[in-house]
Amino acid sequence: MEAVRKYIDANSLMSVMTLPENFKNRRLEVIVFPMEEQAGKMPKSVSEIDEAIQSLVGVVPNTELSLSELREERLRKYETID
C-alpha cells in the first residue's frame, strides 16, 4: 500500500480540519493512506465521521478503568460507525 508522509505547519492544516488547541503553532507529521472502498456499503456522512474522529483526538483521559474496560467502552460507543 502506498502512503504519503509530510511535515506541515499546524496552522495551515487547521483550515482543513479541526485540531486541538495545543497543536497551534507547531509542526505536525501527516501520514495519508488511501481508503479501501467496500462494495455495497454506503459511506457515513462526513459530519458523523468527523465527530467520531474529533472525539478520539487527544490523550486518553486518566480514569479508573482498566485498558480492557476502556477498550470495551470505546468499541460500544463507535460500533455503528464504519
45-65 mean pLDDT:
70
The whole-chain average pLDDT of the chain stands at: 78
Integer-rounded Cα radius of gyration of the chain: 16
What distance lies between CA 6 and its chain's CA centroid? 17
39-43 mean pLDDT:
59
Does the structure show a pLDDT above 80 at 33? yes
Lowest mean pLDDT among 21-30, 31-40, 70-79: 31-40
Does the structure show a pLDDT above 60 at 59? no
The backbone torsions φ and ψ at residue 23, rounded to the nearest 5 degrees and listed phi first, read: -85, -15
